[in-house]
Amino acid sequence: MALPNDELICSICLSIFKDPVMLNCGHNYCRGCINLALNTCNGSRPYSCPECRCQFLQRPVLLGNRKLSNIIQYLQEHSQKKLQNSLLDLTRKREATKKRAESLNKQKSKIQETSDLLEKTMDMFFKMIIKDIKNFRKTALREISRKREHALMQVSRSIQDLEIRKNELSRKIQETQEMLNMADTTTFLQQEPDTEDGYLQGVSAEIHLDEKPINLIVRRCLSSVNATLSEVMTSNPGPKASDILLDVKTACNYIRVSPDCRSASYVSVDQGNPERSGRFNVCQVLSTCSSSAQQYWEVDVSKAKEWIVGVAYHSIDRKTLDEDAYIGFNEKSWCLENRNGLSALHNKVRDNVTVKSPVELLGVYVDYDSGIISFYQLNDYIRHLYSFSATFTEGLHAAFYVFPDSCFTIQKREPRAKAGFPKRLSLVW
């Protein structure tokens, strides 16, 4: 039942009627309101209706308007149920908001704890390396000093020997010159000639600084640093590398998936694959399995002019043809998009990402419990591109959009003796 608001409002108190009564003229008022209005007349002037000014010779009899009263009662019981339902709905939303806030606070605490632990670990790690390097530096400098002193001593001794020999030769030269000036040459002829050819024997021609022990110290230093690095990596292996395979059953008919299910490329001809409820109508494909744990994978996008790489819930819409079904354009997916620049997308909210060089190899890291999705550019160095923070409600699939003239390949992770995070990224986490 619905009535115009004016029909339910007393024109005196401007509130919903309370115990509505009707005058002979047909206008309705609250019983209390009209009694007060009639009392002001007090016999000095005619009684009149406050609304139409209809006059009455005697104080009008107030007739209870049962129908209007029932309508008001019904509506009040109904503005009541609606309020109760609204209250329940608001309470549920408040509880959901409270749980979300509690979850985010837990994430905040976990992030802080993880950050503190990483800071302590990295601080200890670098202190160990710095300590080793300082010790080896001292050893190397001490060894260089020792080798320098030894080499300089050898040179000094050789110089001293040469000075002695030079003086001896100078003496002999002077004696020879004196003999040449003598009138009697028989004395010179009677002397034994100086036929010594090895006058420089025993004197080193070249003396070098021996660098071999220094190089050995450097190698020992590097070996020690590598051992420390291996120890840290062993104690902090990071998440296991995920073996991501593409699910052919989800691939749009304009996507060709390789036999090993690791590569996908765009084709201009409909592949004619059987129609399935899980197959995308837009050019997208998901991984075979969803995960509710930590995941890491790498994608070679060097042969894709444009690409979208991310994660999505299993319940993402597969049949819609507009962009609402694109990865990152709805609340069920998160992605990094490379189209006219690099940007991060979730539920159509876009954040631009700045890069100095084209992304050719992309690393994707997901920590389900912590609610983190991170993207990394993997060149000779590792560069963090973007991270999402969310509370996940379903398992996450790796998700990809394939554009015309483009293809991508999921990097194969070779078996390891100790399955762990790629070595080049171990310290990032």
Equal CATH topology for 5-64 and 248-428 = no
Burial of 422 (0-12, 13-18, 19+ CB in 10 A): middle
Structure tokens at 136: 């080896």
User: Rounded CA gap, 397 and 335, in Å?
Assistant: 12
Q: What is the DSSP string of 371-414?
A: TEEEEEEESSSEEEEEEEE----S-EEEEEEE-TT-EEEEPP--
Phi-psi label, residue 56: left if phi above 0, alpha if psi -120 to 50, beta otherwise: beta
Single-letter code of the amino acid located at 1? M
Are 239 and 421 within 8 A, CB to CB?
Answer: yes
Cβ neighbours around 420 below 10 Å, total: 17
211: left (phi over 0), alpha (psi -120 to 50) or beta: alpha
Q: According to CATH, what is the number of the domain 5-64?
A: 3.30.40.10
| Closest-CA residue to 396 (of 298, 291, 241, 279) | 291
Rounded Cα distance between 331 and 248, Å, is 24
Residue 287's region, left for phi above 0, alpha for psi from -120 to 50, else beta, is beta
CATH no. of 248-428: 2.60.120.920
Q: Give me the residues of the chain with pLDDT under 50, please.
A: 1-3, 414-429
Note the pLDDT of residue 71: 84
Q: Tell me the C-alpha distance between 373 and 294, whole Å.
A: 10
List, edge to edge, every strand of the sheet that includes 361-367. Answer: 255-257, 263-266, 407-410, 294-300, 361-367, 372-378, 382-389
Which tokens is 397 given?
A: 């699939």
Q: What is the pLDDT of residue 188?
A: 56
Per-residue pLDDT, 43: 61
What one-character DSSP code corresponds to residue 287? B
Q: How far apart are the first and last CA of the chain?
A: 62
pLDDT attached to residue 399: 96
How many helices (H) and strands (E) in the chain?
A: 4, 18
pLDDT at 422: 40
SS3 breakdown of the chain: % helix, strand, coil, rounded to 5? Answer: 40, 20, 40
Per domain, the residue ranges of the chain are 5-64, 127-189+202-235, 248-428
What is the C-alpha to C-alpha distance for residues 271 and 408, in angstroms, rounded to an integer? 18
Question: Are β-strands 307-313 and 333-338 bridged in parallel, bridged antiparallel, or unpaired?
Answer: antiparallel
362-398 pLDDT, tens digit per residue, is: 999 999 988 899 999 987 778 899 999 888 999 999 9
User: What is the DSSP pairing of strand 294-300 with strand 55-56?
Assistant: unpaired
Dihedral class, residue 210 (left if φ above 0, else alpha if ψ from -120 to 50, else beta): beta
Decide: 304 and 406 in contact? Cβ < 8 Å. Answer: yes
Q: Tokens representing 132?
A: 């080793």
CA angle 182-186-188, nearest 5°? 65
Give every strand in the sheet of 396-402, ordered side by side. 284-286, 396-402, 307-313, 333-338, 342-346, 349-353
User: In this structure, how many other beta carbons lie within 10 angstroms of the beta carbon of residue 104?
Assistant: 14
